[in-house]
Structures are given as C-alpha cells and as structure tokens.
Amino acid sequence: MFKINLNFLKPGMILAKTINGSDGQVLLNAGVILKESYIEKLRQIGISSLYIDTKETSDIVIEDVICEQNRFEAKNIIRETMKDVYMGRSIQTKEVFEAVSNILDDLLGNKDIMLNLSDIKAVDDYTFAHSVNVCVLSLITGITMGYNRDKLEKLGIGAVLHDIGKIAIPPDILNKPGKLTDIEYKIIQEHPRLGYDIVKEHATISSLSAMVILTHHERHDGKGYPLGKKGKEIFEFSRIVAVADVYDALTSDRVYKKKVLPHEAIEYLRAMGDLQFDSEIVNNFAAHVAPYPVGTIVKLSTGVQGIVVAVDKNHLNKPKVRCFWNKQGDQYLNEAEVNLVNLPSITISEVLEKLE
Ligand SMILES: [Fe+2]
C-alpha cells in the first residue's frame, strides 16, 4: 500500500485501510473499490490523503505502533470522557487507565518502535484521534528516556487528557477557520486551567498527570501559557507532551489549515528546539518518527521516483525505496529497490502526492 493525496484518487482504486467517521463508525472498509461518490464523501469529511493498494504495492505493509483495536477503543473512551465532562459527570477513570495501559503494553512489546503510519483523521474526529496520538507519541518519548512503567502510566494519562479543558471552550472559537481575535485567543488559552480544575476533582488521577494538563502549553523561552514558566522549570512530562502535541497538530488537517509532511514537522521541531521546546526531548522524539514513512511517494536526487518500503531506525533519512520508471498507461515498469543507506550520494529531494 502507499499514501496518496485525495485529489489524485481515481474511481477503481482500492482502499488499503479502513476509514472511521467521527462517531467511530466504519465509513469505508479496507479493500473497498473506490467510487466517485465515496471520494466525494471523503472530501466532505475533511480527509486529504489515504492509503491505497495496487498490484505493484500490495506487498508493502505499514504497521501501526499500537494495534488497531486499542487505538479505536482509546478514541471511543476519550469521546465518552469528553461527553461525560460536558454533561457535568465524573470521568470514568478506570476506563481511561485501561486504555492507556493497553497502549503501553503494545508499545513495550514492540522492539523497534518506529512511527510509520499516520492516522487518517476526519476533521470531526480530530480531538479524539489527536488525544490518542499525543498519548502514543509521548509514551514513545518516555520509553526512550528510560521511564519506568509507573511514570509512563502517569505520563500517558496526562497526555491522553491534555486537552480535556477544551470541552469548556465554545466550538465556534475552537474551530474558527480564520484568524482569532485577541479575546478569542485569550479564551482558548483558558483550556489548560479549565482541564486542570476538572481532573483535580478526581482523586485517582495523579497530580503528575494533572500537571501535564495545566502546563502542556508552557514553552522553553517562557512565552507559553498559563504560567509563563521557562526551560527546566517546566515539568518534564509537559515538555514531552508539548513536542508530541505540536507534531501531531502540524501533521493533521484542521478546518483552518492544511497539514505538513512528517519530515517538515520534524524540521520545524528541531528548528524550534530551545526556543519553544527542550531540544533533548525533540531528539528523543525524532529518533522514533520516520521522516519519510513507509508508503510515502518520494523523488530521489537522481530524478527517479518511488515508494518507501522500509525505514532503518539508525538511518531515518535513508530509507529503502522501490523505484518506478517507464510508465506505460497506468502500469509502472522496471521496478527495482534501492537502499539509500548504501548509496551515500543519493538523497530524497521531494515528497510527491502521486506517482507522476
Ligand atoms: Fe492544548
């Protein structure tokens, strides 16, 4: 399978990964042959790219770092949690703990954690999918930093609930397509404190997790909110969650912005290391995130194009690429795989949205 921009989808192409709607319902199952009406529906729900299968790429398997079921269930639990908070009910903390524990089991059982799969999110589904992704990305970073299980669980709870306070922010401000006014921005900046006030009423949620919710928008240079803390004054869990939060937000489509590619998001985080983030944490994070994930269409410095088929954890910028040339009609001929690790003079020059 490989990833393609929605604009280049054609009826007859085969969907490689199931697409869920905002309530978790299946919209399109993996294996379905796409029709014009399906493509239009995907456009309406704000999906900009997805995975498809072709004869030439059906053997390329993209593994998520956690199992599909655990990701799906975690999203549902966050959706329910937000509903509970909105209705003024208590959070079902046992269920949230279980979801985080399952994610952690998957990650700890995974020897070479490498983030290759981007979760395809519908715009409406963003908050829940984002919460789970921030949890996964934060835990990967925590594992790299040698955290024990107890610390990882507390980090994971804080990460998955980091934006719980947004439930108290009016949705028209939260999802405003244009630029926010100063007053609107001030209202959004209330969400860490609102979230903190909600979770601190739950005795089973650790104060360490609650601190993540309060301080995930603090920034290294002191220009974050709500406390304006600087550098190492900022709680370490929150420095981790800040990196995960920004990475996932950048690589997701929102109502008000188009997403950026993984390698661009990593470049941004590195450029902002020690301005906005803790650069050591950015390095730990980036060590497990493929800048050119499996399934990405790339152009090499030689001009040849191909699809990434494998990523070496020690050489993230030098994946193995299946090259295609001599296009005849819809067929790509003369495919060959090159391992860029063995070809120091060849680099990736561009990420393409379709095979040209
Ligand atoms: Fe936030």
Domains defined along the chain, listed by start: 2-53 (3.90.105.10), 68-286 (1.10.3210.10), 297-352 (no CATH)
Give pLDDT, residue 24. Answer: 73
Q: What's the predicted TM-score (pTM) here?
A: 0.91
Separation of CA 217 and ligand 1 centre (Å): 6
Helix axes 126-144, 279-286, angle to 10 degrees: 100
CA 352 remoteness from chain centre: 20
- For ligand 1, a single-atom ion, the residues with CB < 5 A are 163
Give pLDDT, residue 355. Answer: 76
Separation of CA 294 and ligand 1 centre (Å): 29
* pLDDT tens digits in sequence order for the chain, 356 residues long: 888 888 888 899 999 988 887 777 888 999 999 999 999 988 888 888 888 988 878 888 888 889 888 998 999 999 999 999 999 999 999 999 999 999 999 999 987 788 887 777 776 778 899 999 999 999 999 999 999 999 999 999 999 999 999 999 998 998 888 889 999 999 999 999 999 999 999 999 999 999 999 999 999 999 999 999 999 999 999 999 999 999 999 998 876 677 899 999 999 999 998 899 999 999 999 999 999 999 999 999 988 889 999 999 999 999 999 988 655 555 555 678 899 999 999 999 999 988 77
CA atoms within 13 A on the CB side of 110: 21
What are the CB-based long-range contacts (under 8 Å, 24+) for 33-41?
Answer: 34/9, 34/10, 35/11, 36/11, 39/6, 39/9, 39/11
Separation of CA 239 and ligand 1 centre (Å): 13
As given in the structure block, the two tokens for residue 193 are: 């404190």
Separation of CA 329 and ligand 1 centre (Å): 48
Nearest to 251 by CA among 141, 116, 350: 116
Separation of CA 163 and ligand 1 centre (Å): 5
Give pLDDT, residue 126. Answer: 85
Separation of CA 350 and ligand 1 centre (Å): 32
Separation of CA 25 and ligand 1 centre (Å): 26
Give pLDDT, residue 262. Answer: 93
* Angstrom distance (rounded) from CA 165 to CA 356: 45
